[in-house]
């Protein structure tokens, strides 16, 4: 039997609750046996309303409200399941960006990175689903309600602001930002780097708290792979801009 790692009240549980509710993304559709990747996005056929981020309007707390844990979330939570439930839609949004970007990128190295993102992170979504099935008995990511938005910056400062995270996790917002940019190559770089940085921050948090060997191996791989891509993207950006 796999051992589970429980999240003490007031740790990563608040972060994932905030992310999943703020985004209002039906993460369950990315689970095994259903849609492994988001619907195909294209600059030639942007989804209606993609330029807006309705999740921010619907999911973020009013500034006057007091952050509180979700109803029914009083019990300690399994950090490994929470990490999976966050990373599946996070992967799906960067896959959507790479898919839309691929035909418009002019730098061959960026084309290779975009294709690698599609291939590797699609496979990782399936891997995450398998891990979740082993740990929790279901591959289906679980969206959470009634978030404690005020805790996010304190718990995961390296993942950016709440608005930045919501935008990063929204496939339509990522694709729209890319498609509306004047320079596709620079736009892809400038969207991918912060997206990778937030994945690294989440993975570093789970490495610090999990005791599950497979989750640790997955998170450490995410850190290594995405940090390497960030460094390459920065090198390419310097070349393209003459910095």
pLDDT at 149: 36
Q: DSSP alpha helices (H): ranges in 38-107?
A: 54-59, 79-101
Of the candidates 97, 92, 121, 127, which has an alpha carbon nearest to the alpha carbon of residue 110? 97
Phi, psi at 77, each rounded to 5°: -115, 160
Q: How far apart are CA 225 and CA 42, in angstroms?
A: 26
pLDDT at 48: 56
Number of residues written out for the chain? 243
* Tens-place pLDDT, residues 180-212: 999 999 999 999 999 999 999 989 989 998 999
Q: How far apart are CA 183 and CA 201, in angstroms?
A: 28
Of the candidates 218, 90, 98, which has an alpha carbon nearest to the alpha carbon of residue 159? 90
* Tens-place pLDDT, residues 136-191: 999 988 774 444 334 444 544 566 677 777 788 899 999 999 999 999 999 999 99
Report, as an integer, the average pLDDT of 124-130.
97
Phi, psi at 7, each rounded to 5°: -90, 120
Report whether 59 contacts 147 (CB < 8 A): yes
Q: What are the structural domains of the chain? A: 6-241 (1.20.1260.10)
Q: How remote is the C-alpha of 194 from its chain's centroid?
A: 11
């Amino acid at each position: 039997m796999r051992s589970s790692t429980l999240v003490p009240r007031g740790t990563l549980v608040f972060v994932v609750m905030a992310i999943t509710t703020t985004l209002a993304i039906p993460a369950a559709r990315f689970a095994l046996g259903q849609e492994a990747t988001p619907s195909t996005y294209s600059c030639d056929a942007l989804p209606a309303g993609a330029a807006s981020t309705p999740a921010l309007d619907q999911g973020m707390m009013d500034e006057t409200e007091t952050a509180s844990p979700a109803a029914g979330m009083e019990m300690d939570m399994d950090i490994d399941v929470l990490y999976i439930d966050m990373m599946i839609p996070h992967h799906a949004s960067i896959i959507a960006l790479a898919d839309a970007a691929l035909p418009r990128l002019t730098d061959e190295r960026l084309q290779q990175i975009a294709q690698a993102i599609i291939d590797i992170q699609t496979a990782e979504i399936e891997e995450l689903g398998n891990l979740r099935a082993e740990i929790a008995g279901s591959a289906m990511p679980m969206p959470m309600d009634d978030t404690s938005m005020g805790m996010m910056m304190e718990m995961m400062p390296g993942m950016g602001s709440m608005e930045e995270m919501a935008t990063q996790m929204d496939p339509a917002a990522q694709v729209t930002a890319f498609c509306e940019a004047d320079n596709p190559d620079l736009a892809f770089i400038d969207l991918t780097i912060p997206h990778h940085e937030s994945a690294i921050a989440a993975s570093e948090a789970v490495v610090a708290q999990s005791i599950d060997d497979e989750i640790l191996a997955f998170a450490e791989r995410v850190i290594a792979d995405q940090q390497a891509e960030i460094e390459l993207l920065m090198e390419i950006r310097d070349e393209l801009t003459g910095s």
